[in-house]
Amino acid sequence: MSRHGGALKKQLPLFRLGLGGALSTGQQWLSPISLRDEIRAILWILDQRIAGPVNLVCPEPLKNSDFTKLLAHEVHRPALARVPALALKIALGSDLATEAVLASQRVLPRILTETGFSFEDPTPKSIISSALGT
């Protein structure tokens, strides 16, 4: 997660204007990771010679509604609105909205934690703070 790219870059201006809100019902699971932990995890995987799939996510997944509250709090703005699923499908296209934005996956970093990786940003709050440079 970085303010310089990805979904956060697109969400931030809206949240800073007080126009941010949960996507659809807000019940979709998110499994974020800070940019610095993602880079550190990739280096860890290479150094430890870990083979196979590894989930690059923090140990604390959260729902979109909780992410929305955290981000709004960090930018000192309310987040009262909800973005209807239909609006997302119109704006982004049905496939992108359904498969990426509205998809729900509660993913954990089992391999990373089992091999002793230590997160610098282990919580969604710390990830958002790191991404915003606060």
Task: Say how many Å lie between the first and final Cα of the chain, rounded.
Answer: 14
For domain 6-132, give the fold.
Rossmann fold (3.40.50)
32 by Cβ neighbours in 10 Å (0-12 / 13-18 / 19+) ranks as buried
User: Average pLDDT over the chain, rounded to whole?
Assistant: 90
Are residues 97 and 88 in contact, defined by beta-carbon separation less than 8 angstroms? yes
Task: Please check the confidence at residue 127 and state whether its pLDDT lies above 90.
Answer: yes
The Cα 123–Cα 130 span in angstroms is: 11
Which tens digit of pLDDT belongs to each residue from 43-70?
999 999 999 999 999 999 999 999 999 9
Half-sphere exposure of 35 (CA within 13 A, CB side): 15
Q: What is the pTM of this model?
A: 0.83
Give me the residue spans of the domains in the chain: 6-132
* Higher pLDDT, residue 94 or 52: 52
